[in-house]
């Protein structure tokens, strides 16, 4: 038996941190000739398989690992990890890497299997393969694998075995005790296998999201967040996090963005391109879009009735105080639109003059009373009027309290002279969700060391693409239906209760219930969660009917708490076989987020049809 235990001092991040990272993407092999590496399946059965060696992580408890000749799964020896107390001064976790020098050809296998048990129920933080001290091109990990006190078999599927022509990383793990106290973990019968009883269910890159980045030439972007989910032989799902190099990538336009085999995207031109991936020939979820299609001109902002200086800003209010300040030699103020033509016919705009000899970074800041809401998009648009074309306009956003350290900015050139045009500042990917951006700074002709020449510029309509251009000032009703899927056309969403039963007829869907036995009214119920504010007035509207067989019957309809004491404001509604529209106004006698609209129909037998339900705050 050949055993090589070594301690290697390597920079090793704590497991929790490692989870989020796929480190460098150096290929393990360097264009070696066609592989003829051994295809040995066994990693550890009773002894270390040929060439296998173990290296502990330098920051781990390096003596945690040993071969155990007493405890084993149907054999004479197992791998044992004495997982230390997390407070152990010699290292608070157990972990290391089993590798083979030169590597093995694993192309005939689709899974790494092993048995494991522990001295107490635990979750192994990370366990997988494909990690060596030279690289981790094909690293594959299972996270939080639960282990009990009996031997159980575990599976870590190989996302794409065809890629593993030379893989040195046979097994690795990093584990800190869940509750901080030491325990023993045994692993045995570790081998690669080819099982037809493992079915791939889904695969994803970028956490399955369709992401967008700007088309800034020269930028690079590493595809991450790749995972594959399998249906294991026991009928349970298991996901593994997979190195991006398992996937095959394609760019829809190589002149705009290229992508290499490790998932590294490089922006090489302006325009729109899509990066998509396949795994073993099958499409996977998630994509990366580089650049944006040109947006239609944004609407004119109307903030004449706004309650605060908040986005969108049109400078139209005569009652608000817009906190505008020109600095470093810029003279700025709100004036009547000097050129109410073209795309900007509105009344009031900002005028800013870069006085003679002012700093090149002379500009205008606007302090907002409410931070910018980027939930609709991270694309900021603004209308400008400039006496010069092809000069850069810098738009910067920052937090008033933090100042310049929080600043993000984008430069966009003007393209017209002496007329209104719209500039698009795409902050996608730049916005830090932890920062409240409540200051907008605008610089015209932002060219280093070029002093001001007395030119006057105008700007207006600060707007987040896709948001509501009318700034109503918040608060109050807003007039929209507070309910989702009120017309029941959206399938089984939003509504609940044992009376929830959508039927569709002739293209219209509605809720249909037929009560067979009379009981308490609430025995048969249809509800939808909606926040109700005490003392506010609500208008509740719906259509309802029964069927000819029932003739007439009543139901109870209204609003109420969705938890004890189930306080409610309701009406008794008499239904006939003719569809009628019912409208009631309630002033809420209660208030909670966990409230609902409700239809109680269990007190009488017969059919209840309900459609087009709306609740509007008055």
Partner 1 sequence: MKLKLRIAMALLCGVLLTAFWSCEKDDEIGFEASELRLVFEDNFDGAEGASINTDNWNFEIGNGENGWGNQELQYYTDRPENVSLDGEGNMVITARRESFAGFEFTSARITTKDKFEQKYGRWEARIKMPGGRGIWPAFWMLGANIETEPDNDPNTVPWPFVGEIDITELRGQEPSTTIGSIHGPGYSGGGAISGEYELEGERFDKDFYVFAIEWHPDYIDFFIDDIRFNQITIDDLPQGVEEWPFNENPFFMLMNIAVGGSFVGFPVEGTPFPQQMVVDYVRVYDIVD
Provide the binding-site residues for partner 1, judged by CB under 8 A. Answer: 195-197, 199, 201, 231, 233-238, 491-492, 496-501
CB of 130 to partner 1, least distance (A): 24
Q: Is the CB of 1 or the CB of 236 nearer to partner 1? A: 236
Q: Is the CB of 258 or the CB of 528 nearer to partner 1? A: 528
CA 103 to chain centre: 37
Q: Is the CB of 374 or the CB of 500 nearer to partner 1? A: 500
Q: Is the CB of 231 or the CB of 614 nearer to partner 1? A: 231
CB of 46 to partner 1, least distance (A): 24
Q: Is the CB of 238 or the CB of 617 nearer to partner 1? A: 238
CB of 105 to partner 1, least distance (A): 22
Calpha distance 304→301 (Å, rounded): 9
Calpha distance 336→345 (Å, rounded): 11
Q: Is the CB of 37 or the CB of 230 nearer to partner 1? A: 230
Examine residue 312 and say whether the peptide bond preceding it is cis (omega within 30 degrees of 0): yes
CB of 150 to partner 1, least distance (A): 17
Calpha distance 23→17 (Å, rounded): 11
Neighbours of 282 (CB within 10 A): 10
Q: What is the 3-state secondary structure (H, E, C) of 287-339?
A: EEEECCCCCCCCCCCECCCCCCCCCCECCCCCCCCCEEEEECCEEEEEEECCC
CB of 200 to partner 1, least distance (A): 10
CB of 527 to partner 1, least distance (A): 11
Q: Is the CB of 240 or the CB of 442 nearer to partner 1? A: 240
Phi–psi pair at 16, nearest 5 degrees: -60, -35
Examine residue 137 and say whether the peptide bond preceding it is cis (omega within 30 degrees of 0): no
* Type and span of the H or E element at 18: helix 15-19
Calpha distance 584→578 (Å, rounded): 19
CB of 577 to partner 1, least distance (A): 23
Calpha distance 459→343 (Å, rounded): 12
Q: Is the CB of 446 or the CB of 512 nearer to partner 1? A: 512
Calpha distance 327→150 (Å, rounded): 72
- DSSP string spanning 476-526? S--S-B--SSTTSTT-S-SEESTT--EEEETTEEEEEEEE-S---GGGSEE
CB of 187 to partner 1, least distance (A): 22
């Amino acid at each position: 038996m050949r055993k090589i235990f070594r301690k290697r001092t390597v920079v090793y991040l704590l497991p929790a941190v490692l989870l989020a990272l796929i480190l460098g993407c150096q290929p393990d092999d360097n264009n070696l000739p066609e592989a003829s590496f051994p295809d040995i399946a066994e990693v550890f059965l009773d002894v270390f398989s040929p060439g296998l060696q173990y290296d502990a992580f330098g920051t781990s408890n390096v003596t945690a690992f040993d071969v155990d000749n007493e405890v084993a799964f149907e054999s004479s020896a197992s791998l044992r990890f004495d997982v230390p107390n997390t407070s152990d001064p010699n290292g608070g976790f157990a972990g290391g890497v089993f590798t083979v020098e030169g590597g093995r050809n694993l192309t005939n296998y689709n899974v790494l299997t092993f048995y494991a048990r522990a001295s107490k129920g635990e979750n192994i933080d990370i366990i997988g393969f494909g990690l060596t001290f030279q690289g981790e091109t094909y690293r594959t990990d299972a996270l939080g694998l639960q282990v009990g006190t009996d031997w159980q078999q575990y599976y870590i599927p190989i996302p794409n075995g065809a890629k593993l022509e030379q893989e040195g990383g046979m097994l690795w793990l990093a584990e800190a005790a869940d509750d901080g106290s030491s325990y023993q973990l045994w692993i045995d019968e570790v081998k690669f296998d080819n099982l037809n009883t493992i079915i791939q269910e889904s695969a994803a890159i970028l956490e399955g999201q369709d992401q967008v980045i700007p088309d800034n030439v020269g930028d690079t972007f590493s595809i991450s967040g790749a995972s594959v989910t399998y249906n294991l032989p026991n009928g349970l799902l298991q996901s593994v996090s997979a190195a991006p190099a398992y996937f095959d990538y394609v760019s829809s336009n190589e002149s705009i963005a290229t992508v290499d085999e490790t998932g590294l995207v490089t922006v090489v031109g302006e325009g729109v391109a899509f990066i998509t991936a396949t795994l073993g020939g099958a499409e996977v979820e998630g994509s990366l879009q580089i650049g944006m299609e040109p947006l239609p001109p944004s609407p004119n902002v109307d903030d004449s009735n706004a309650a605060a200086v908040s986005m969108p800003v049109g400078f139209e209010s005569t009652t608000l105080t817009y906190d505008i300040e020109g600095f470093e030699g810029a003279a700025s103020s709100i004036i009547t639109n000097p050129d109410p033509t073209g795309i900007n016919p509105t009344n009031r705009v900002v005028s800013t003059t870069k006085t003679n000899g002012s700093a090149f970074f002379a500009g205008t800041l606007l302090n907002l009373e409410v931070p910018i809401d980027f939930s609709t998009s991270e694309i900021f648009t603004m209308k400008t009027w400039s006496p010069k074309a092809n000069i850069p306009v810098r738009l910067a956003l920052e937090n008033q309290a933090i100042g310049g350290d929080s600043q993000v900015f984008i430069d966009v050139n003007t393209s017209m002279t002496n007329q209104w045009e719209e500039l698009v500042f795409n902050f996608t990917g730049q916005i830090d969700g932890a920062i409240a951006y409540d200051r907008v700074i605008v610089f015209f002709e932002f060219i280093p060391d070029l002093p001001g020449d007395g030119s006057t510029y105008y700007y207006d309509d600060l707007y987040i693409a896709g948001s509501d251009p009318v700034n109503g000032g918040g608060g109050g009703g807003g007039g929209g239906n507070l309910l989702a899927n009120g017309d029941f056309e959206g399938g089984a969403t939003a509504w609940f209760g044992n009376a929830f039963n959508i039927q569709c007829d002739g293209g219209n869907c509605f809720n249909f219930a037929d009560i067979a036995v009379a009981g308490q009214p609430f025995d048969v119920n249809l509800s939808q969660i909606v926040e109700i504010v005490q003392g506010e007035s609500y208008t509740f509207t719906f259509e309802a009917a029964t069927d000819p067989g029932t003739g007439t019957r009543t139901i109870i309809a209204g609003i109420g708490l969705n938890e004890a004491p189930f306080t409610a404001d309701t009406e008794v509604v008499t239904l006939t076989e003719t569809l009628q529209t019912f409208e009631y106004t309630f002033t809420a006698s209660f208030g909670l987020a966990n409230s609902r609209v409700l239809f109680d129909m269990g007190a009488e037998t017969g059919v209840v049809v309900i459609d087009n339900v709306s609740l509007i705050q008055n």
